[in-house]
Amino acid sequence: MALIITDECINCDVCEPECPNDAITQGDEIYVIDPNKCTECVGHYDTPQCVEVCPVDCIPKDPAHVESHDQLMAKYEKLTAAKK
């Protein structure tokens, strides 16, 4: 399942550079995560890096984008193949 940034976000700018898939961008008011690019860092790291660095714990799993580990790995493989 992809992650989502909640309105508790304080725009501290630490999550965006940590995302290996470039899924995090500045939205109108807070940072947002593109669910089509978010793999929860599957394929890159053992844990989501944005969650690791977030000082306010505002990046939960997005219940609107439920995906299994295998689906996240397939998305990772598709995203990394597109970068080659």
Summarised one tens digit per residue, pLDDT across range 19-65 is: 999 999 999 999 999 999 999 999 999 999 999 999 999 999 999 99
Q: Look at phi and psi of residue 13 and say left if phi exceeds 0, alpha if psi is from -120 to 50, else beta.
A: left
Summarised one tens digit per residue, pLDDT across range 71-83 is: 999 999 999 997 6
The CATH code that applies to domain 16-83 is 3.30.70.20
- Over 80: is that where the pLDDT of 84 sits? no
Long-range residue pairs from 34-38, CB within 8 A, at least 24 positions apart, any chain: 35/2, 35/4, 35/62, 35/64, 35/65, 36/75, 37/79, 38/2, 38/3, 38/65
pTM of the predicted model as reported, rounded to 2 decimal places: 0.92
Q: Are 77 and 43 in contact (CB under 8 A)?
A: yes
Q: Are 54 and 15 in contact (CB under 8 A)?
A: yes
